[in-house]
Homo-oligomer: A and B are copies of this chain.
Amino acid sequence: MNPATLSALAEPNRFQMVELLREGPLTVGELADRLQVRQPQVSKHLKVLQEVEIVEVIPSANRRYYKLRPEPFRQMDDWLDTFRSMWEEQLDRLGDYLKQLQEEQNK
């Protein structure tokens, strides 16, 4: 996982675009319509998404269909894997120890 990908997703309009694209490829115009965003901004946002390979283009005549690419999401998934132990194991020795300290102090 890398900050650049996260940064691309962090912008609200782009995030929404990804949500829309989940259901299938869309053209620039369709995205602009659904998002209530002007076409040039949509093109710019798509460019950003494309640079981090979240999206790919499929030209079809006049139109350009944008489609999600699975890789970045797989990467996020792999990254999250490295955190799974955090919420699956309730051991967390030091954390418990510190919490205990805190509770004692709050008495």
Q: Interface of A with B (CB < 8 Å)?
A: 3, 6-7, 9-12, 15, 22, 24-25, 58-60, 65, 67-68, 70, 73-74, 76-77, 80, 82-83, 86-87, 92, 94-95, 98-99, 101-102, 105
Contact = CB atoms under 8 A, between A and B. Distances in A.
A interface, over-half SS: helix
A73 B98 contact: no
Contact of A58 (B12, B87, B99): B99
B102 A58 contact: yes
Contacts of A7: 6-7, 10
10 contacts: A3-B9, A3-B12, A6-B10, A10-B10, A22-B83, A58-B95, A65-B98, A67-B98, A70-B83, A70-B86
